[in-house]
Amino acid sequence: MNITSIMISVLSLIAGVGVFLIACTMMSANLESLGSKKLKSLFAKATKSKLVGIGVGAVTTAVIQSSTATSVMVIGFVNAECMTLAQAATVIFGANIGTTITGQLVALGLFGANSIPTSVIFAAFAGIGAFITVFAKKDKLQKIGGIFAGFGMIFVGLSLMSDSMESFSKLDNVKNFLAMFDNPLLLTLIGAVLTAVVQSSSVMTSMAITMVVTGLISLNQGIYITMGSNIGTCVTAIIAGATSSSNAKRTALIHLIFNVSGVIVFMAIGLILKIFGVDFGFIFGRMFPNAPQTQLAMFHTVFNLTTVIIVLPMTDLLVKTVTKLTPDKKEVNKKDVDKKNQFRFVDEHLLITPPLAVQQVKNEILNMAQISVDNFQVAIDAILTLDFSKNEEFRERENQLNFLNKELGAFIAKLIKTKLSETDRIYLTTAIRTISDLERVGDYSENIIEYAEKLKNSNNKFSDKAVNEIGDLKNTVLSLYDKVVLCYRDLNFTALQEALDIEETIDGITDNMANNHITRLCEDLCTPESGAQYLSLSSDVERIADHFINVAQTIKEYA
């Protein structure tokens, strides 16, 4: 081979890796978008048991084609306190099983040397998917086309990598050079470093398989490189965890310890096998003769399954270990942390999986609604009793509402730019209005607190009849809130109609309050000063009800 041929092979290898990465991204993005509802419900089941958690991790990774993405996503859930460390651990275990699917697909694509290669058949899906995407009118069909195109492009990239590896395999100098790397520890390190660079164990495993098939490296070399890729894939998760909470750091550490443990176990087994004059390559070569692609793919699967079987019974011990290794900062007071403005469900790392991020936005909005109604109750109680003992809690919640109004809106702006289903995209546009409505509920509650302060400063108070009317109004608004939450959370149109009926009742109550106030004023049962606060109160509560109704009515746009 001349210099030109070598350069063509190098460029083909780079192109193959690039096409492979883009294909995985394209396929996973469309799969996520198309199956967003199922993915959301699937992750919600991760809390049921350890085996369910493993299943969720495996299926999610198989869908999004990246154990790294799954791990980063899990860190986001742990950081948002939506998942415990033990639950996160089992999902990560499953992610390592799910990532073996890509290796099996690659191995399948490298069959057919004496007929039409499987990779060529599968690569044809790229063209089929492209035609569907271009000519389909419906969004769902376009996403299906994107899945087909991504799947086919995986094998286009694989063919490019395979061809370049085959060219290199004809160079004795290259083969002799690679043959020098026979130290298991060094090969594992190479696999870890290269995986950390490309940020995909799937790419590294696929490259190792093609190198073994073309004879560029031995099966045993490929096995240790693949083992190293399992360590390298932890790098992104570690970086994500480093900038997050203590529990998020622990989750990243669980991922690292799990993968390193597997490598250590198999390294030890490798040393024992060496005593008897055999190695992994010999064993898997005998198990799957004349199929080097299957030999390495099956080792990858056996490696991850075995590691899960070994580590799963020690999950609780693993959680205790990482908790001791990354203790909470003693100088931070838990009460102070709770007071700090922060998200409860949303986390930046969730942007890597948009459908799940959308679900967490909805949970965060429901949390925001609860904060707003809590402040409404405190405000009404304050004006009725002139007791301001809960003022500090009220201010903290008001600050939290302001924080969520600003920061959740910014998060949604980032999320809406990602690959989403049309339903999720429409939902997010309504969500921006919803958080504004809930923030306004907080503002009107703040007004009511101010009315209470004015009453106290002027030594005024409401009459018993006025107090009873305000109490009835408060209870009616709380009933409205319950229907709004039921409607918004469950997309319940029956609850929406009930909420609209209650809102009309509230309008009637506030009208009667105004008339009753005039009567009491004429009968000298209240003062003009207290009357002014009373009318302002009824007007603000009516607006609060309107904002709650706005939240409920958004479901008509996307449900």
pLDDT of residue 82: 66
pLDDT band at 44 (very low <50, low <70, confident <90, very high): low
Q: Are 222 and 212 in contact (CB under 8 A)?
A: yes
The two three-digit tokens of residue 330, written as one number: 């003693």
pLDDT of 163 strictly over 80: no
**What is the Cα–Cα distance from 303 to 295, expressed in whole angstroms?**
12
- The amino acid at 226: T
pLDDT of residue 329: 60
pLDDT band at 331 (very low <50, low <70, confident <90, very high): very low
pLDDT of 98 strictly over 60: yes
Tens digits of per-residue pLDDT, 47-72? 567 788 888 888 877 766 667 677 77
Tens digits of per-residue pLDDT, 210-263? 888 888 889 999 999 999 988 888 876 777 666 566 777 888 888 899 999 999
Buried b / exposed e over 496-512, threshold 16 CB at 10 Å, is bebbbebbeebeebbee
Residue 65 is classified by DSSP as T
Tens digits of per-residue pLDDT, 475-521? 999 999 999 999 999 999 999 999 999 999 999 998 888 787 677 76
pLDDT of residue 244: 63
Tens digits of per-residue pLDDT, 175-224? 677 778 888 999 999 988 888 877 777 778 888 888 888 888 899 999 99
Complete domains list, the chain, with CATH: 3-324 (no CATH), 344-558 (1.20.58.220)
Mean pLDDT of 14-37: 72
Count the neighbouring beta carbons within 10 Å of the beta carbon of residue 122. Answer: 20
**What is the Cα–Cα distance from 436 to 231, expressed in whole angstroms?**
44
Burial class (CB in 10 A: 0-12, 13-18, 19+), 53: buried
Q: What is the 3-state secondary structure (H, E, C) of 219-252?
A: HHHHHHHHHHHHHHCHHHHHHHHHCCCHHHHHHH
Q: Which residues contact 512 (CB under 8 A, 6 or more apart)?
A: 469
Return left, alpha or beta for 471; rule: phi > 0 is left, psi -120 to 50 is alpha, else beta: alpha
pLDDT of residue 31: 67
Q: What is the 3-state secondary structure (H, E, C) of 419-474?
A: CCCHHHHHHHHHHHHHHHHHHHHHHHHHHHHHHHHHHHHCCCCCCHHHHHHHHHHH
Mean pLDDT of 417-434: 89
Residue 288 is classified by DSSP as S
**What's the pTM value of the predicted model, to 2 decimals?**
0.68
pLDDT of residue 522: 60
pLDDT of residue 151: 81
Q: Which residues contact 408 (CB under 8 A, 6 or more apart)?
A: 343, 346, 361, 364, 365, 368, 435
For residue 368, CA distances in Å to 342, 372, 400, 402 come to 11, 6, 8, 10
Of 207, 180, 177, 176, give the one whose Cα is nearest residue 191.
207
pLDDT of residue 358: 87
The two three-digit tokens of residue 377, written as one number: 């109750």
